[in-house]
Structure 1
């Protein structure tokens, strides 16, 4: 049994599930019922999905995929033409796919032969496979049929999933039908319930843990060997979501970013959670090191003194709404952020994550290793110059021009102060030692068919 921690999203109950995208449990389900051209393995590496092999040409300007023989869950064969139509739909600007803004370089999806598809790009994208491996790019036909690695055998709760026999691994004389012992019971449930289920030995894994649930671990007798923390890459911090009033001035936004004692904030929630003061975790595909804020070498007292001066100079009360999720970790985060704001004369007000706010938490794992994802995700919103710089990076016709444009965009976003970085995302799981194939990874993604040797 596996529990996927849910927020507001829930798995469909009582019917064959649609291919949902948003929220963690629906993404787990989508990844389990269907696959894209490629997919992630247990270690977060790219492995074949519907495509058995592929080649990349023109420095990432074209991807040619050879499809394997596959069947939809209703038994009908998968054709290259069907796959091409579905991919075109997923990358369309009209799609609800959240990855669409990062797929704009795709120019054509062409059926070359009954087994071969070519994805042609207007601009090179060496990281395209990492996007294609995301659950959002899983291939479902219009009748909601996927190709596995699992199929639903009973609607929940819990949903019962059974592996689909893989013809590539079955010997001619073998019985390739998976046994019921390989079924997976998938629960979508609140963190507290999932943790109690695991602590009582009634599940083998809890997937999808975030910072807001981390303090719950202190309330249960769960051995430290069962707690697995992913080295996740991504963003954890506050988007400056409202630029009216005090926050209209970039100097005020910079003073706001500088006043936080990042490591103390994180230590109040989870040990060994490392703080950061910069947007990019590394150079990535930029041709310059990550921008460092110009206040980085100042003492905390000096930074808070400068922030207090700017608040006093404003001449009227400053109130800041902070949009956060629910959960004990978020309560601790608000306590730390609120205390820091009060220390410089700003009145904090907590609001729901989707409500109007001045500061909105962004807690997201990067789907691929491009600095443009970090910049575009942090730019929510940002000024015209920063937005133009990010768009220039998106449209750069060569990799060299793209790297230079990304470096310029990083500088522009740093000057604009549209985002207050605090850390990298905290992602964790609880794992029974029977699940020997489980691996932590920077994608913080753990396919259900990558937990046990007999379901790979």
Structure 2
């Protein structure tokens, strides 16, 4: 059995209002987002909504501040020797309405949550689940088609939080006022668990503000909030404004996809060689240099090098070609397109606003113009030929990257052959054969040129040095409950 310590600190809303001084009172936190942050239902959550859902709707397991899996509704679990079954024992607690947490209700809620993910890459990540069944009153078993070492990490995702009568079981309660909210961790006795000594004295509330990133940074600089969560590359330049923020910027060690996804496989982009011309034209070193982030490396690979399942058989592209040679080849393909009676290519890209996005746009425009392609920008939610993708991997394995490019998720430009290799890999018993098939799948998807890699994503936060409960983690978002533990 695996057991992790569980802490259930909480305070009443009145304590939040009565606190005198930041050391005794609530912790002010700014979460980058908008109204969508409070729309925590459904399969496609905004990053801010993921944070709030994880805080208020527990799954079988969850994450701690460092991104490690910890107990949720299940307080312990075992994995069978063959890795094909996970058995969870639920805590002896209650739902918000006071009814007991039972395996039957947990199984029904988990099946419903997974069914709601249909059509998403996360659904593909969970496709290896054969069945979820009740073993005893408080015991749930998940049987797999083949071993999945990342199942616990997947079950800890916010989308796998379990609802009872459309409500979650915490660990935090939320009282909303417009785009602000007070979050307090639910006392253990209200969850049907033993009370903790000095519970109120060991905990604090969070005063949460959901706001645009510019306002959040200003609030931090002016001393009104102690934490800013949810920074991405589109706003990265804001993190360096003013002397106050420089020493408080925290970068997460994430991997994932940061590049251009082809969303309209027509016209100039109908041919793989022309889509490759875009990839050839990008000067990745110059683009990354505009941000001046140490250790940030460019890539031409779909899968991050060194993840589980990567044999290294697929390397960086065009290593023997200088940037000038790459651009010459791209320009030749554009010239061939025009010689066939077509107009000069004009390609649109959908991307978020922000100073970081502007830097990316300026570099891409210059790179594409150098080979005869005009690039225009449209708003993030608009239809476009390309979309700037900025996604953090949910687990560190090649399958996550390949599922993002599956034809079930990316219908405009994809590789059916790559999908077939991926399916074969997931069914392979031999680890070497599995990795080899994953390499073949990556090669096929790379050749389709439906995704143009640039680098790994960047995620940043602002955190004052005296704040506890924060730790950089590989998933790039930060669970709120640890912030509610009062520092000793």
**What are the equivalent positions in structure 2 for 1:324-335 lying under 5 Å apart?**
324-335=351-362
**In 2: Cα distance, 1:173 partner to 1:149 partner:** 15
With 2-11 and 44-53 compared, the bigger mean Cα shift is at 2-11
Q: Is 2:65 the partner of 1:34?
A: no
Partner of 1:121: 144
The one of 301, 318, 336 equivalent to 2:363 is: 336
> 1:430–1:66: structure 2 CA closer, same or farther, 3 Å change rule?
same
> 1:329–1:173: structure 2 CA closer, same or farther, 3 Å change rule?
closer
> 1:139–1:97: structure 2 CA closer, same or farther, 3 Å change rule?
farther
Q: Is 2:233 the partner of 1:201?
A: no
With 393-402 and 438-447 compared, the bigger mean Cα shift is at 393-402
Which whole-Å deviations, capped at 9, do the CAs of 1:119-167 have from their partners, x for residues lacking one? 01122211111111111111121332x2222112454441111111236
Q: Which runs of 5+ in 1 are unaligned?
A: none
Query: How many pairs were matched up?
Result: 450
C-alpha displacement at 1:403, in angstroms? 2.5
**What are the equivalent positions in structure 2 for 1:155-194 lying under 5 Å apart?**
155-166=177-188, 174=197, 176=199, 178=200, 182-194=204-216
C-alpha displacement at 1:360, in angstroms? 1.3
Partner of 2:479: 447
Partner of 1:46: 69
Q: Is 2:459 the partner of 1:430?
A: no
C-alpha displacement at 1:309, in angstroms? 1.0
Which whole-Å deviations, capped at 9, do the CAs of 1:370-429 have from their partners, x for residues lacking one? 212102213533133223323333444665543332121012112222211111111000
C-alpha displacement at 1:246, in angstroms? 2.4
TM-score (norm: length of structure 2): 0.85
**In 2: Cα distance, 1:207 partner to 1:200 partner:** 16
The one of 87, 97, 104 equivalent to 2:110 is: 87
The one of 414, 418, 429 equivalent to 1:386 is: 418
TM-score (norm: length of structure 1): 0.91
Contact 2:255 2:457 in 1 (8 A): yes
Partner of 2:451: 419
Contact 1:70 1:147 in 2 (8 A): no
> 1:436–1:347: structure 2 CA closer, same or farther, 3 Å change rule?
same
The one of 318, 322, 330 equivalent to 1:299 is: 322
The one of 365, 377, 381 equivalent to 1:350 is: 377
**In 1: Cα distance, 2:43 partner to 2:130 partner:** 26
Partner of 1:211: 233
C-alpha displacement at 1:347, in angstroms? 1.0
> 1:173–1:42: structure 2 CA closer, same or farther, 3 Å change rule?
closer
With 322-331 and 399-408 compared, the bigger mean Cα shift is at 399-408
Partner of 2:311: 288
With 445-454 and 395-404 compared, the bigger mean Cα shift is at 395-404
Partner of 2:258: 236
Compute the RMSD of aligned alpha carbons.
2.6
Question: What secondary structure, in the 3-state scheme, does the structure 2 residue paired with 1:182 have?
Answer: coil
Contact 1:158 1:185 in 2 (8 A): yes
The one of 302, 312, 325 equivalent to 1:279 is: 302
C-alpha displacement at 1:283, in angstroms? 4.0
Contact 2:84 2:148 in 1 (8 A): yes
Question: What secondary structure, in the 3-state scheme, does the structure 1 residue paired with 2:52 have?
Answer: helix
> 1:414–1:139: structure 2 CA closer, same or farther, 3 Å change rule?
same
Contact 1:21 1:27 in 2 (8 A): no
